[in-house]
Amino acid sequence: MSAAGLFVTFEGIDGSGKSTQARMLADHLRQSGHDVLLTREPGGSPGAEDIRALVLEGEPDRWSAETELLLFTAARRDHLERTINPALAEGKIVICDRFADSTRVYQGVSRGNLRSQVDKLHNLMIGREPDLTLLIDMDPGAGLERALSRGTGEERFESFGTGLQERMRQGFLDLAGEFPDRITIVDGTGGIEDVAADIQRIATDRLT
């Protein structure tokens, strides 16, 4: 646990249920009397939301993997300065839908082979890990079907297809091996309520 507050992130491939589960955990913890801030990346502050539009809309080859890495890191820095750190300093539980593990996997492994640059930029500009990361793991075919069914127009990444999603799934599982104390794998294939119950149990254990 941080000096103040608790920083929880959700990670996983597109459509694995991160936003749904982040919202449900936030509701559950609020009902239990906690002060919770629910946020997301890319985005979570006005400047970072502007960067989100740049990076998620348009053609798949709009940015190189290197430029994407800079844009995601710029958005994260703004989000940390203006949203996450102030909330943690006030003692809140911050629940964030995606954070630096997404960069390690998307820019570091699947979109480009940039893991060493990802780590250098992270150390230089972010330097913060979550207290707890819930990795929702599931079959990419099913995840992609769920993600495309949303029809939000933010499908630049989903349009890369299932081969890439398969590499990302493995990339996330490898990260769970790299950071075993921080990352807990959650099976995302069950019904929404079942997955939520697993997550509530893990988060409650972490809080006590």
Choose one: 2-10, 28-36, 95-103, 178-186; the region binding ligand TYD (CB under 6 A): 95-103
Q: Which of positions 9-28 make contact with ligand ADP (CB under 6 A)?
A: 12, 14-20
Query: Which residue do the tokens 């913890």 mark?
Result: 29
37 near ligand ADP, judged by CB under 6 A: no
3 state DSSP class of 12: coil
Radius of gyration of the chain (CA): 16
Q: Using CB under 6 A, which of 32, 192, 201, 205 touches ligand ADP?
A: 192
18 near ligand TYD, judged by CB under 6 A: yes
Residue 66's φ and ψ, nearest 5 degrees, are -65, -45
3 state DSSP class of 139: coil
Query: Which of ligand ADP, ligand TYD, none does residue 195 bind (CB under 5 to 8 Å by kind)?
Result: ligand ADP
41 near ligand TYD, judged by CB under 6 A: yes
Give the residue with the Cβ less far from ligand TYD, 18 or 92: 18
Closest by CA position to 136, among listed 204, 196, 177: 196
3 state DSSP class of 157: coil
Per the CB < 8 A criterion, the answer to whether 5 and 88 are in contact is yes
Q: Which of positions 101-160 make contact with ligand ADP (CB under 6 A)?
A: 146-147, 149-150
Say how far apart CA 189 and CA 105 lie, in whole Å.
Answer: 21
Where are the extended beta strands (E) located within the chain?
6-11, 36-40, 93-97, 132-137, 183-187
Q: Using CB under 6 A, which of 49, 129, 154, 198 touches ligand TYD?
A: 154
68 near ligand ADP, judged by CB under 6 A: no
Q: Which stretches of the chain bind ligand ADP, using CB under 6 A?
A: 12, 14-20, 146-147, 149-150, 191-192, 195
Q: Which stretches of the chain bind ligand TYD, using CB under 6 A?
A: 14, 18-19, 41-42, 56, 72, 98, 102-103, 106-107, 147, 154, 157
